[in-house]
A and B are shown apart, each in its own frame.
Chain A
Amino acid sequence: MKTLKKLAYVATAIASMAVSHSVIAQQSIDDPARAGYYDTVKGKKVVFVPVFMGLDLTEGWSKMMAKQATALGYDYEVRNSNFNTAAGAQTITSLISEKPDVLVVQNPDVQSYARLLKRAEDAGIHVIQLNMKTNILTTGFVGADVIGLGQTQARAVVAKCGGDTPGKILILAGPPTSPFSAYMLKGYENILNDNPKVQVVGVQSTGAYESAKAKSITQVVLQQHPDLCGILGVWDNTDIGTAAAIAEAGKGDQVFVSTSGGGGELACKGIREGMWQHYVSYDVPGQSRDLNALISAALQDTQVVGSTKTILYTPLVEYTPENIDSQFCWTLDTIR
C-alpha cells in the first residue's frame, strides 16, 4: 500500500512537471507596451535647475534622477544656479530655446521664476517643480506640503509649550520670499492662532538659511528670554546653529526645538545628540521616487503640455527621540 502511494506521488510529480513545462512555453507572451515605452523615453532630455547643488537634498534627488535616466536611456543634465536667482532665471531662459523635454526646477522663491516657467510650458517643455513651489502650477509638483509641514511642527511645539504654563517660542524662518518661509509661516499661524496662550517672542529670518545667523539670533533671544520654551526652525542644516546656541547656553533640557529636512543622516544625528527633539522629514528617497514617476509620465505624455497638472505632496514622517531607532536616515551611499 505504501509503495503504491509513493509510486502515485512520483507519477503525479512527473506528470505535473511535463504539463507545467509545456504551459510555460505556451504562455510566454511579449508585453505589447514594453518596447513602445522604452522607445518613447529613449534619447529624450531632462534638465534639473536646482537652487544649489552640494546639499544633501539636491545631491540625493539628482543621484536618483540620474539613475533612472541611465536605466531608461534618456539624457539627464544639471544646471546649477549656485544660489543666484538671476543666474537661474538666465539658465531657464536659455533652456526655453534649447527645448529639453522635461525641466525640473527647484524655486528659490514663490515669485521669481513663475512667468518663465509658464513660458517654458507654452513652448512645449514639461515643467516639474521640486519641493519649492512658485505661486503657479505647472505639469507637476513633487515636494512637501509646506503648510502642512509647518502645522505639524507647530503642533509638536504647542504640545510642549502650550500647557498649563504657556511658554515663549521663537520662529526662525528662511529667506522672506522663499516658499519654505512664506508657506511655513502660514502653517505655524494656522496652529498658533488657535493657541493664543503660546507667546511668540520673535519671528526672524536666518538670511539664506545661514546657521551662523540662526546661532546669533538664538543667543540674543535667549538673553532676552531666558525662559524660552520652544523654537520652530526652518531646516536641519540651519538649525545646527540654533542647537549650538542652546547647547552653549546650557538650556538643552529646557528649549524644545522642532525642525525639518530631507531625513538624511543629519536628521538622526540631531535627534540622537539632542540638537532637536522633533523633526519632520520630507523623505528625499520617497520624493525621488515620486519625481521619477512624474518625469516618466511627462516623457510619455502626448497631450498638449500643461493640460494635466499633478501635485504629489510627499507623505511627511515625524522623527522623535522615541521612534528614532526605527527610522531610516539615508546617505548618498545608501539612497536607492
Chain B
Amino acid sequence: MKAIIQNMKLDQQAIVAVLFGAIFVVFALVLPGFLTFGNLLALVRSVSVLGILGLGMAIVVIGRGIDLSMIASLAIPTGVVMTLVIAGYPPGVGLFVGLAFAVAIGVANGILVAYAEIPPLFTTLAVGIGIAGIGQSGLFEYDIIPWPPELNVIAWIGRGSIVGIPYSVLAFVVAAFLVHVFLSRTRLGLFIYAIGDNLAAARNAGIPVRPIIILKYVMAAVIAMFAGLVLSASSSSMDTRIFNLGWIYDVILVVVLGGIGLSGGRGGVANVIVGTLLIGTIVNGMTILNVSFEAQSLIKGLVLLAAILLDSILNPRNEETAKQGDI
C-alpha cells in the first residue's frame, strides 16, 4: 500500500491540493450555503491580504531567506501614509513617503543579510521589532489609525467590486500574476531560484548575488505595504498592533504549507495560492458552522500537522533531499 502511494509521486503541494479539495467537497456537501458564488468570494476575500503577504514571503523564501519583518512593513509604512494624509498632505506625497519607507526597510534588511551576512531570521526579526517600535512609540497618536476620507481616491483597492468581484480579490489575483511572471519569466526571478538552490554556485556563475538579495527584501517590503493598503482600505483603519499578533506565522504557514521549502530554490506562486485557499476554506467553513475560537485554532493546527505528516511519510528525507539550512 505504502509503495503504491509512493509511486504516485505526490509532493507537498499536491498533498495540500488534495486536502483542500477534500475539505472543500465535504463542506460543499454538508454546509448549506457554502457552495454559493457569494460565499466563495467571501472566502477568497477573507484571505486575500494573507495571500498577498504570502507572495512576498515566497520570493524571499525561494531565494533561501525569511522575512519576519513583513507585518511591520505592512503596518508602519501604511500608517505613515494615513498619518501624513490626515495631517493635510496630498495623498500622492503620503504614498510616496510611505513607499520610500517600505523600500528603506527592505534595503536595511537586504544590506544586513547580503553584506553583513547576518542570518535573515535574526536580521528581519530585529528590523521588524525596531520598525514596529518606531511606529508605535513615536510616529502615531493612536495605534489604531482611522482611514482618512482624503485617501478615498485609492480606497477602491480594498472596498467595492467590479462585475461582482471584490477589488481585494482582484488585488490578490493581479499580485499573484505579476509575481508569477517575475519568478518564472524574468532573468532576475530565475536568479533568485539559483541563489536559493546554491548560493556559491550562483556566485560562481557570475550572478550578482548580493544586490539580488537586497532586491528580494525590497520586493517583500513593497508587497507587504501593498497588502497593508488593501487591508486598511478594506477595514477602514490600520491597526498597527497587528505586528504583535503573530500574523507572520500565518504567512509562513501559507508558504510552507503550500510546499515552498524553507531551504529555498523550490516552489512558486501556485504553492502560495493552494496554501492560502486551504486556510481560507477551513476558516470559512468553521465560521459558518459557528465553531468556537479555541476549537478553530485546534482544528487549524490539526489539519496543518496532518499535511506535514503526510508529506514526511510520502516524501521521506534522505541525504539527497535534505539540505543544509533546512529548518
User: Which residues of A are in contact with B by a Cβ distance under 8 Å?
Assistant: 52-56, 59, 82-84, 175-176, 201-205, 207-208, 210-212, 214-217, 219-221, 223-224, 237, 240-241, 243-244, 248, 266, 332
Contacts and interface: CB of A to CB of B under 8 A. Distances in A.
14 contacts: A84-B244, A175-B293, A176-B294, A205-B293, A208-B245, A212-B49, A212-B234, A220-B46, A223-B33, A223-B42, A237-B144, A244-B159, A266-B146, A332-B141
B236 A208 contact: no
Given A220-B284, A244-B159, A215 B142 contact: no
Nearest to B166: A248
List the 8 closest pairs (A to B, CB-CB), nearest first. A54-B143, A205-B293, A216-B46, A241-B235, A223-B39, A211-B235, A219-B42, A83-B244
Interface string B280-307: 0001100110101110000000000000
Given A55-B143, A59-B142, A212-B234, A204 B287 contact: yes
B235 A215 contact: yes
Interface string B230-269: 0100111101111011000000000000000000000000
Contact of A212 (B140, B141, B239): B239
B290 A201 contact: yes
Contacts of A216: 42, 45-46, 283, 287
B38 to A, nearest CB: 5
Contacts of B36: 223
A208 B240 CA distance: 12
Given A55-B142, A223-B33, A237-B144, A210 B242 contact: yes
A219 B283 CA distance: 13
A208 B42 CA distance: 21
Given A204-B290, A248-B160, 19 more contacts: A54-B136, A54-B140, A54-B143, A54-B241, A55-B142, A59-B141, A59-B142, A82-B244, A83-B241, A203-B290, A207-B245, A207-B293, A210-B239, A210-B245, A212-B231, A216-B283, A240-B237, A243-B236, A244-B159
A202 B287 contact: yes
A274 B320 CA distance: 62
Interface in B1-60: 33, 36, 38-39, 42-43, 45-46, 49
Contacts of A243: 236
Interface residues of B, number: 38
Contact of B42 (A83, A220, A332): A220
Nearest to B158: A244
A216 B293 CA distance: 14
Contact of A176 (B46, B159, B292): B292
A224 B136 contact: no
Contacts of A214: 235
Contacts of A207: 245, 293
Nearest to A175: B293
Interface centre among A53, A204, A216, A240 (most CB of B within 10 A): A216
A213 B290 CA distance: 14
Contacts of B236: 211, 240-241, 243-244
Contacts of A224: 33, 39, 288
Given A215-B235, A220-B284, A240-B236, A83 B245 contact: yes
A91 to B, nearest CB: 15
Contacts of A220: 39, 42-43, 46, 284, 287-288
Nearest to A54: B143
Contacts of A217: 287
Nearest to B132: A82
Given A204-B287, A219-B46, A220-B288, A55 B294 contact: no
